[in-house]
Copies of this chain bind each other. A is one copy, B any other.
Amino acid sequence: MENFSFVNPVKILFGKGTIGQIKGEIPAGDKVLVVYGGGSIKKNGVYGQVADALSGYEVHEFPGIEPNPQYETCMKVVALIKEKGIDYLLAVGGGSVIDAVKFIVAAVYYEGGDPWEILSKDAEIKKALPFGAILTLPATGSEMNGNSVISRAGIQEKLSFASPLVYPKFSVLDPTTTYTLPPRQVGNGVVDTFVHITEQYLTHYEGDSMLQDKLFEGLLKTIVAEGPKALETPTDYDVRANLMWASTWALNGWFGNGRPQDWATHMIGHELTAFYGLDHGQTLAIVLPGVMKVMWKSKFEKIRSLGCEVFGVCGADQASTVDKTIKAVEDFFEAMGVKTHLSDYGLDEEAIDKVCKRMEERRWKLGECDDITPDMIREILTLRR
């Protein structure tokens, strides 16, 4: 196990009817800005619960944060905050809304010039406004971490940043708010959660971190069992609760401590979204099986554990174990309604060329061993045509 230092200060308010508890978490007298997305919260009753909980506060609101939240939209919110003298933000939605608010609370105080530098130049964040979150789409783990991914359509970029100053002060996780999610969002969310885990679990590591392996396997077993049930029986509370809480643990930082992490699937997937607008979960479902196939030799021990422990498939030899495990992963993604090949989304060689050219320009070293070359990225994507 590797050395680490870590703290996660987010308070979790979990369960049915817990949105009302936010009143106890936001300082009295604060001017609150509620930030949300396309308006689904007005249909599922969340908006009304938030309005009730915030009675007594001066409340402003900003609707319209996009999936893959856009820099330009975030900067409009920054302007509104300055105009109204906002003290506290409340992100209501999924990872896109929460990620956007993280960038916004940091950009408000950014003094270095264009806040885009927080993403493009890893510029230091020295101060941020406080905010809380009400999660309505379990997937990204953003409700309990300090990470954010922001897109900029004008230059087809999708970049991430992280800071301990942008952890939510609290996050409300009410599984009943997920009952009305469209199946596509449920599927994408489960795939995203699955791949957050494999980015940290399915790695080559000379040392031993059995504890983390077993905890990640526990998360994987849960979402593999519960994911399809959420599509079949959307209002099963315990199924939704298990999935919502698992998605938080998949990326709140705790289990990934002390061992190497991959993230190649996410980095390659982000480019597919930046160029072609695919859903984040769709890109991961395409890329992960390719990463597993191309990197199977160094990842073999964990691929075998994933197959045997999580999916109950073990091959007679290494090659068949790898193939069976990759097949099980693909089948699971497809069962969640998420297609796993580029052609399913109308993409062909041109997309592969475009992503590979971008990855060559970036000169990033991908994979837990920094050994995924541009040629290997081409191989990964070619396998996923």
The chain A residues found within 8 Å of chain B, CB to CB, are 1-18, 21, 170, 175, 207-211, 214-215, 217-219, 221-222, 225-226, 237-239, 241-242, 245-246, 249, 254, 257-258
- Do B4 and A14 touch across chains, with their CB atoms under 8 A apart? yes
> A-side binding surface: helix, strand, loop or mixed?
mixed
Contact (A9, B12) CB under 8 Å given A207-B238, A210-B225, A246-B211: no
In the complex, 14 of the A-B residue pairs with CB atoms within 8 angstroms, ordered by the A residue number, are A1-B238, A3-B16, A5-B11, A5-B13, A5-B14, A7-B170, A210-B222, A210-B226, A211-B242, A214-B217, A214-B221, A214-B222, A215-B215, A254-B254
- Do A10 and B12 touch across chains, with their CB atoms under 8 A apart? no
CB of A316, distance to nearest CB on chain B (Å):
22
| Nearest neighbor of A222 in chain B, beta-carbon distance | B211
Q: Which residues of B contact A6 (CB under 8 A)?
A: 11-12, 14
Distance, CA A21 to CA B238, complexed state (A): 42
CB of A273, distance to nearest CB on chain B (Å):
28
Q: Which residues of B contact A242 (CB under 8 A)?
A: 1, 208-211
- Do B4 and A15 touch across chains, with their CB atoms under 8 A apart? yes
Among B5, B17, B249, contact of A12 (Cβ-Cβ < 8 Å): B5
Tell me how many chains of this kind the complex includes. 2
Distance, CA A242 to CA B16, complexed state (A): 35
Distance, CA A272 to CA B15, complexed state (A): 38
- Do B211 and A219 touch across chains, with their CB atoms under 8 A apart? yes
- Do A14 and B10 touch across chains, with their CB atoms under 8 A apart? no
| Nearest neighbor of A212 in chain B, beta-carbon distance | B245
Distance, CA A96 to CA B148, complexed state (A): 41
Distance, CA A238 to CA B211, complexed state (A): 10
CB of A241, distance to nearest CB on chain B (Å):
4
Distance, CA A1 to CA B219, complexed state (A): 16
Distance, CA A10 to CA B7, complexed state (A): 6
Among B21, B214, B246, contact of A219 (Cβ-Cβ < 8 Å): B214
| Nearest neighbor of A172 in chain B, beta-carbon distance | B5
Q: Which residues of B contact A210 (CB under 8 A)?
A: 222, 225-226, 238, 242
Between A1, A2, A7, A219, the greatest number of chain B beta carbons within 10 A of the residue's beta carbon is seen for A1
Q: Which residues of B contact A2 (CB under 8 A)?
A: 15
Distance, CA A1 to CA B18, complexed state (A): 14
Distance, CA A344 to CA B364, complexed state (A): 62
Q: Which residues of B contact A238 (CB under 8 A)?
A: 1, 207-210
Distance, CA A170 to CA B175, complexed state (A): 32
- Do A258 and B225 touch across chains, with their CB atoms under 8 A apart? no
Q: Which residues of B contact A14 (CB under 8 A)?
A: 1, 3-6, 257-258
CB of A237, distance to nearest CB on chain B (Å):
8
